[in-house]
Structure 1
């Protein structure tokens, strides 16, 4: 309990330190944020032109696409801002740098998760928040949905990164998994076959990041299910981490 108490006191300072570290190159910091906003907006412009020609595709309209994108990118952006270290956890295990951090008198999992802040993630989060304000949705409900979806992403990447503790080299797979999650999370569920839908609700939990949070915000329900799924994925990833850590051997012994 004492270690957790130290962690809770240190977490705001740790986040501040990560922000200042990213801020050292202020030009690159703002360029990354601006690039993400421009990139997301340009893609929406492309789909806006598409939906001008086809106003509705299997019941899916442009407004639905915008909300789905806002939730997906907001969830992943929140992940990279608060727990961006999960995307570098496999690299630490595969290079042996993990041992340095394990010696600190704080709980290792939350400390390792907050080791990195991604400016691109902050760009996605700010773009998402601005889009949600523009859409005029229930702000509190949307924020709660974003947190639940972010927990799903955190659990997924934590489970994947924890495989490195068992000697598997998965760091090179993380960018591919991230890109795949974005790709599947920003398309409507009704374009997929039932077997693919089942896959995107479980093994690759893309639907929990975009379509389902967007539906929850629109209908004003389903938030409890989203949070339960988020906590379930996070619990699964945490178990994978702790079990793997017990048998972890750094490269070279």
Structure 2
């Protein structure tokens, strides 16, 4: 198994370049992040080149966080802001050679939100395609993100079908899917052709994967059996010193 450290949570107390070095020292094969935009791309690139790691993915900006926004692309009337965030993400991803961008939907509901999300995703896919970048969408659970537009894999698949671009994929986060739908093994088996990236954390506390109700030894074995060999994203909250939570990576 190969793993990617999500630096939005792991070593989050360190500057991003330092966190990249920490991930390398801990044995991760890649890294990913949430919103790196305050860090110069040159600094991130230098850390990636020195460690030999690749930044697998990043997110579009959430919008006005102080006002409670958590994504813009499904918000009717916010197309200009949503597409500016998409353009920014693509430019940053190109600069640091990142292959995936998670376009965040935001808090919205209804037909207008669906239409808005589809149109903005078509824009994102068209802009990203020349750079070989895959656009990802991720269902979030209703407990951590009540009111988020996308909460189930079925809904995500419907959106992907309506967008109609081959470089739009599902971000399958085992933590969110287990909370909303369960049946992880069968869902991974069924959805694998539509999956662009897999993430994980314990359920229900979103900690390290060697605790909680999900048997990740079985999940990782299933993923390997199915032939998926990209690094799996460790997107969990360490609740303190990240290095103290990493015994699971040696077991895996």
Same fold (TM over 0.5): no
For normalisation by structure 1, the TM-score amounts to: 0.28
Structure (1/2) with the larger helix percentage: 1
For normalisation by structure 2, the TM-score amounts to: 0.28
Higher relative contact order (CA 8 A, sep 6+): 1
